[in-house]
Structure 1
Amino acid sequence: MATSIVASTKKTIKIPLNCKDTTQTCPLNYPSRFKPAISSSETCPDYFRWIHQDLKVWQETGITRETLERAKPNAHFRLVIKSGRLYLHQYDKCYQTRDVFTIWGILQLLKMYPGQVPDLELLFLCHDQPGIWKKDFTQEGPNATWPPPPLFHYCSHRDAYDIVFPDWSFWGWPEVNVKEWTTLQVAIREANERVRWKDRVPYAHWKGNSYVSQERRDLMQCNFSDKCDPMVHLYEQDWEKERENGFKSSNLEDQCTHRYKIYIEGRAWSVSKKYILACDSMALLVKPEFFDFFGRSMVPMEHYWPIRPQESCRDLKFAVEWGNNNTEKAQEIGRRGSEYMMKRLEMKYVYDYMLYVLQGYGKLMRLDVTVPDNATEVCSETMACPITDGGLIRQCMDDSLVTYPSVKTACDLPQPYGDDELKRFLKNQESAERHVEKLTNDYWEVQNKILQKGKNKKKTKSLSIV
């Protein structure tokens, strides 16, 4: 059953998935343009403001053919959008179906906003870590390498130039039985209603693959034991066993059972952030190195509780202690974080973000957009119709299929941050982190004094006996 992103009106044009054509070619009757009947009266969420920051580096020079082609060694595929149709030249296969659902998502965007995505060419990287690092590009001198090549990617870093784009899992991650985001939002919302915050296990929870990074392996050292109670429950996720057992113990909506949920990066950012924050639990974010497209406007102590990587065990224990002693405040942080995921990250906003970043990118094109001879046109039909095994890949596609152009315009793109405004915002984030650090350090200073006092008392008692 297709997820309907828009409501049906007399002016809508239905775009069904046509699998009757056995030649599996792209239909010629896709609408080339559709004027939404309803004007947007809302401003996009604040994280849209970062689009300007991500594209700012090419504002003066634009993107020439030479600049674009320098991104090719880092790319898995090239996408060309011309006259609203999409063409693919694949250089290398991505891990699992990352490329499949990234391309699928862009195809749904083209159906949601016909005629609004400009002609453009882009190169896309599917790996975990960014590919365009600032240290490799200089503006002056005989060896100047400016501007950097534009490369689209799922995450970036303060020391990288990758253009951040929504990751594949918004349309589904069939290899681990993760449904598309709209379906999963409904399931998580129902789970939040089933187990209220105060009735949840008063500990912190994390479940995942710890072998992908040293930070996660270090986290596992914080686990509960018979000797002490560090207030965390950490579980290793064996995906091979899960697949064999039909994913019976890995449903994300079934993991909203603790008051506190831990987010920690893997090889880079992790798609798990949105699922963890959506749970109504107070999210404990081990300070990330990398960022996705939606998280940069989140604020410590408003949407989550910050955890220092180098002090993760001590910080996690205090966070749980603090939350259990300040239940209303902890519950409110959890609620605001969840609300951010449920309301500011609806699929409509995900598509709006994609639209604006591609429109902004398209304006930077200083080249003739051409379809390479070895590129293939792709559409929903060529991707979905050949899959007839009834498996999870086709299910995710069917669930995320856009069948109508949007009857409502995209939200209004907010103005970019001014330099002073951005500095203030980042300073406020840092200030909130320092406040938590002080609370944590003060707590452990008191605990150490109590421990030392106990040791001295025991030592005095021992001497008196002698």
Structure 2
Amino acid sequence: MYTFVLGDNRFQLTSILSTRNTNKSTKATTNIPKTLIKIPLNCTTLNSNTTQTCPSNYPTKFEPAITSSETCPDYFRWIHRDLKVWQKTGITRETLERARPNAHFRLVIKSGKLYVHQYDKAFQTRDVFTIWGILQLLRMYPGQVPDLELLFLCHDRPAIWKRDFNKNRKDSWPPPPLFHYCGHRDAYDIVFPDWSFWGWPEVNIKEWNKLSVALKEGNKRVKWEDRVPYAYWKGNPFVSPIRGDLMRCNFSDKYDPMVRLYAQDWSREIQVGFKGSNLEDQCTHRYKIYIEGNAWSVSEKYILSCDSMTLLIKPEFYDFFIRSMVPMKHYWPIRPNNKCGDLKFAVEWGNNNTEKAQAIGRQGSEYMMKNLEMNYVYDYMLYVLQGYGKLMKLNVTVPENATEVCSETMACPITDGGLIRQCMDDSLVMSPSIKSACDLPKPYGDYDLKKLHKKLQSAERKAEKWTDAYWNSRGQK
């Protein structure tokens, strides 16, 4: 049993797997300045009378040896839009506190130190690895995150819905700022990278740096043309009606549905040590299906990374990177209310247009590998927090019930060699970045957004037109 002390509450997690992989991946260190500062974990030898404390010698300034000359990926342009609702009013203490009923924890950054006041236990280790990720950001860019207070929601669905707030009512405007893993066109939640970028130990998912390398290797095992010419999906069909509805596409006495759908039994996987759930072993089909669960699904980035043409059932929710991906370039769009027919046609089309289908799969995978490197994830976090910090119209204070948290207080007490510590060790930022963050692109203007939406809708209509023509020709539409 692990106990993470976060504020007044003790977050307890039962270890589900004690084995760990001790093989460390190595990275080339050429061209790294000799003055590079190393900040490994400084673990105190603990006994019954001692507790792990935070070191006092963390770097406090960021002085990059290399100035960035690259522009951040396009999805960074959404940061301004996500924060725009508070641009005129700023965020006062009263505005912030109205988000409190929906938050799992309050996070305070003051003078480069991080403090947490936990209100509620999140599912599994979502809160733990979200906080861990922000700690790594502070290690990567010391002194660059301004003093701020934020409230974070760790559930699947957004909580700050537009219908509940009216610009003409002072008692409900502006809406309270709440950080969350996904957004919705009808919600104000501030989108932030999800916990799994630093690992999801409960289901044996590695941190993203390590997993993306494994996925690249997995892609090489089976050439696209030699992959199974069907659409593949494996997951929990019981978390939402839309997934349950997807499973009916698996069976037909009229024609081959061209899909292969499998229910994931996580209890069984835990018992057998996750032998059948390695994501890098699932890049064996030409087509992979993405479908939301209770809301957006963590599986999105893994499915899009497989070189397979992703058949993306049009989502209702979005994460921070998907909004700049383009249908028919990075994935094939599938209508939620016509899943079975759309999926079958997409596979038929792909098998008859293999070069085009392979190109869509490759472009989607390249987007993920190039635009979702961890340095970009950290840069995105940095710009969101910097933009959010500028909106603060309150004195940032550390609550009495908050506790200072650092990498040492989170990782050092875990000594059983389990997957939680493994994920932390693998994702630990060992030194400040040697270069500055990428250059933030200009935000979308109204005209830019209108043009983008028109482009996305045109691509979706093309797929719909081809699909409808296919079924009309068979008298089955």
TM-score, normalisation: structure 2 = 0.92
1:363 equivalent in structure 2: 390
5 Å-filtered alignment, 1:371-450, equals 371-448=398-475
Report the equivalent of 1:454. Answer: none
Q: Are the equivalent residues in 2 in contact too, given 1:5–1:402 (CA < 8 A)?
A: no
Out of 14, 20, 37, the residue aligned to residue 13 of structure 1 is: 37
Name the aligned partner's letter for residue 165 of structure 2: F
3-state SS in 2 of match to 1:68: helix
Code of the aligned partner of 1:331: Q
1:301 to 324, 328, 332: 328
Q: Which residue of 2 aligns with 1:136?
A: 164
Question: Residues 3 and 399 of structure 1 are in contact (CA less than 8 Å); yes or no, is this contact kept in structure 2?
Answer: no
* SS of the residue 2:431 aligns to: coil
Q: Deviations over 1:134-165 (max 9, x none)?
A: 00000115x75100000000001000000000
Gaps of 5+ in 2: 1-23
Deviations 1:146-189 (A, max 9, x none): 00000000001000000000000000000000000010001110
Distance 1:82 1:164 in 2: 22
Offset of 1:4 from its aligned partner? 6.8
Q: Percent identity?
A: 76
For residues 106-117 of structure 1, what are the structure 2 equivalents within 5 Å?
106-117=134-145
| CA–CA separation in structure 1 for the residues paired with 2:66 and 2:337 | 50
* Matches of 2:362 and 2:268, distance apart in 1: 33
Q: Which residue of 2 aligns with 1:456?
A: none
Residue identity in the other structure for 1:391:
G
Residue 228 (structure 1) shift: 3.1
1:104 matched to 2:128? The reply is no
Q: Distance in 1 between matches of 2:149 and 2:84?
A: 18
**d(CA) in 2 for partners of 1:107 and 1:94?**
18
Counterpart contact for 1:4–1:402, Cα < 8 Å:
no
Following superposition, the deviation at residue 227 of structure 1 comes to: 5.5
Q: Which structure would you say has the larger Rg?
A: 1
Shift of the 161–88 alpha-carbon distance from structure 1 to 2, 3 Å rule, reads: same
Q: Deviations over 1:47-66 (max 9, x none)?
A: 00000000000000000000
Matched with 1:37 is 65
* Residue of structure 2 aligned with 1:289, choices 296, 316, 319: 316
Could you say what secondary structure the match of 2:404 adopts?
strand
Corresponding residue for residue 7 of structure 2: none
Alpha-carbon distance between aligned partners in 1 of 2:27 and 2:81, rounded to the nearest angstrom: 32
Partner of residue 250, structure 2: 223
Give the Cα separation in 1 of the matches to 2:103 and 2:189: 11
Instruction: Give the counterpart of 1:328 among 350, 355, 362.
Output: 355
Q: Which has the higher helix share?
A: 1
Deviations 1:346-365 (A, max 9, x none): 00000000000000000000
The 8 Å contact of residues 208 and 236 in structure 1, kept in 2 or not, is answered as: yes
Is structure 2 residue 114 aligned with structure 1 residue 90?
no
Which residue of structure 1 lines up, in the alignment, with residue 101 of structure 2? 73
Unmatched runs of 5 consecutive residues or more in structure 1: 452-466
Measure the CA separation in 2 of the matches of 1:305 and 1:12: 44
- CA–CA separation in structure 2 for the residues paired with 1:197 and 1:374: 55
Query: Distance in 2 between the 1:4 and 1:415 partners?
Result: 33
Contact 1:119 1:369 (C-alpha < 8 Å) held by counterparts: yes
**Structure 2 letter corresponding to 1:42:** E
What SS does structure 2 have at the residue aligned with 1:178? coil
Aligned mate of 1:59, from 75, 84, 87: 87
In the other structure, the counterpart of 1:163 is 190
Whether the 8 Å contact between 1:6 and 1:407 is mirrored in structure 2 is no
User: Which amino acid in the other structure matches residue 351 of structure 1?
Assistant: Y
Q: Secondary structure at the match of 1:29?
A: coil
Name the counterpart of 1:319.
Answer: 346
The Cα shift of 1:21 comes to 4.7
Is the contact made by 1:120 and 1:369 (CA closer than 8 Å) also made in structure 2?
yes
How far does residue 12 in structure 1 lie from its aligned partner after superposition?
1.4
Give the deviation of 1:221 after TM superposition. 0.2
Code of the aligned partner of 1:366: K
Q: Secondary structure at the match of 1:218?
A: helix
Are positions 1:242 and 2:258 aligned together?
A: no
- The alpha-carbon deviation at position 196 of structure 1 amounts to 1.1
Distance 1:406 1:78 in 2: 27
CA offset digits 1:252-306 (Å, max 9, x no partner): 0000000000000000000000000000000000000000000000000010000
Code of the residue aligned with 2:285 in structure 1: it is: H
Distance 1:377 1:127, change over 3 A: same
- Match in the other structure for 2:206: 179
Displacement, 1:225? 5.4
Tell me, yes or no, if the aligned pair for 1:87 and 1:378 is still in contact at 8 Å.
yes
For residues 425-460 of structure 1, what are the alpha-carbon distances to aligned partners after superposition, in whole Å with 9 as ceiling and x for unaligned? 0111011101110000000001127x9xxxxxxxxx
Q: Deviations over 1:191-243 (max 9, x none)?
A: 11111111100000000000000000000000145663100000000100100
Count residues with an aligned counterpart. Answer: 449
